[in-house]
């Protein structure tokens, strides 16, 4: 997922996306803790996706406040 396709979505969709990514990140952390996670790069990629969505969400909220 890249920022250009995220900018095309509305605020409600982005908030749902953040929630689902946070749940996925939690599941990956639990898999890592129980040593079931084999591909550790997924954890970092999910964290970056969360940050990317939150950044676009903040931009949209700031733009709407003007």
Q: Which two tokens stand for residue 45?
A: 């990629």
Backbone Cα Rg of the chain: 14
Lowest mean pLDDT among 1-5, 8-12, 37-41, 56-60: 1-5
CA separation, residue 36 to residues 11, 22, 33, 39 (Å): 34, 19, 8, 9
- Per domain, the residue ranges of the chain are 3-65
To the question of pTM greater than 0.75 for the whole model, the response is yes
**What is 3-65's CATH topology?**
Helix Hairpins (1.10.287)
Whole-angstrom Cα distance, residue 24 to residue 53? 14
Residue 23 DSSP SS3: helix
pLDDT of residue 23: 98
Whole-angstrom Cα distance, residue 4 to residue 30? 31
């Amino acid at each position: 997922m890249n920022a250009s396709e995220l900018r095309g979505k509305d605020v409600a969709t982005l908030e749902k996306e953040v929630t689902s990514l946070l749940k996925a990140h939690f599941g990956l952390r639990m898999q890592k803790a129980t040593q079931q996670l084999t591909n550790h790069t997924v954890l970092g990629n999910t964290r970056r996706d969360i940050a990317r969505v939150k950044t676009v969400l903040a931009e949209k909220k700031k733009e709407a406040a003007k």
